[in-house]
Amino acid sequence: IPVMLLITTVIGSMFLGYATATEAAAIGVIGALVLAALQGSLNWSTFTESLMGATRTSAMIALILAGAAFLSLAMGFTGLPRGLADLIATWELSRFELLMVLLVFYIVLGCFLDGISSVVLTMAVVEPMVREAGIDMIWFGIFIVVVVEMAQITPPIGFNLFVLQGMTDHEMGYIAKAAIPMFLIMVLMVFILIWFPDLATWLPENVRQSPGG
């Protein structure tokens, strides 16, 4: 119960607007330390072990992000992502066909780029296509987030896979196979968003129409 209460407090503080993601993380750390102290499991040995574990994980993720930034910079110089987006723009696809092509496009692109770079390098070309197809931009933003995150668990350079490998010490092949069900669930999520677009826009629309929105 105390752990569930801590999780609820951390997530709830973000959703209710009381704390940013960073502040909520700090609340979680302080809460975890308090719980450990109350349960008698907090001592200098466990504290330093946890601190070093967090440091190693953070350093590993930082190195992965540095490599991703270098690869993204190289891809940006080649102009390949924008060139592919320009090519798609010449095909004059229907709304559904455009979404399917963009789904495959961002999954393939995400195999070699981090999520933010995939979007930044292509959005100048993709955004006019999406508007012309009559697609709601808020809905498309949610679609892009799901697709880009899907790409981050796709070999050979799915960056989240490398993070998991560093945290678990499993072989990359094992982690990639374990990620397949998650990938398929996210594919299903994309099709559900396409079939029932109101699922993605209901909350933003209500927030916008509220007195403080």
Q: How far is CA 84 from the centre of its chain?
A: 22
- Domain residue limits at 98: 59-209
- Grade residue 207 by pLDDT with cuts at 50, 70 and 90: low
Which of 201, 204, 203 has its CA nearest to residue 193?
Answer: 201
**Per the domain annotation, does 158 fall within a domain?**
yes
Please give the Cα distance from 196 to 187 (Å, whole number). Answer: 14
Position 195 pLDDT exceeds 80: yes
Helix, strand, or coil (residue 22): helix
Domain check: are 34 and 116 in the same one?
A: no
Residues 67-91 have pLDDT tens digits of 667 766 776 677 766 777 777 777 7
**Per the domain annotation, does 47 fall within a domain?**
no
Please give the Cα distance from 51 to 45 (Å, whole number). Answer: 10
Domain check: are 37 and 126 in the same one?
A: no
Torsion from C-alpha of 51, 57, 60, 62, nearest 10 degrees: -80
Domain check: are 133 and 203 in the same one?
A: yes
Task: Report pTM.
Answer: 0.63
Residues 28-61 have pLDDT tens digits of 888 888 888 888 777 888 778 878 877 877 787 6
Q: Name the domain count of the chain.
A: 2
Domain check: are 105 and 17 in the same one?
A: no
Q: What is the pLDDT of residue 209?
A: 62
Domain check: are 168 and 70 in the same one?
A: yes
Domain check: are 25 and 107 in the same one?
A: no
Residues 96-135 have pLDDT tens digits of 888 898 888 888 887 777 777 777 777 777 887 888 888 8
Please give the Cα distance from 25 to 28 (Å, whole number). Answer: 5
Domain check: are 128 and 179 in the same one?
A: yes
Distances (CA, A) of 44 to 51, 57, 174, 202: 10, 20, 35, 49
> How many CB atoms neighbour CB 23 within 10 A?
13
Q: How far is CA 2 from the centre of its chain?
A: 28
Domain check: are 12 and 99 in the same one?
A: no
The DSSP 8-state label assigned to residue 212 in this structure reads: T
Domain check: are 29 and 67 in the same one?
A: no
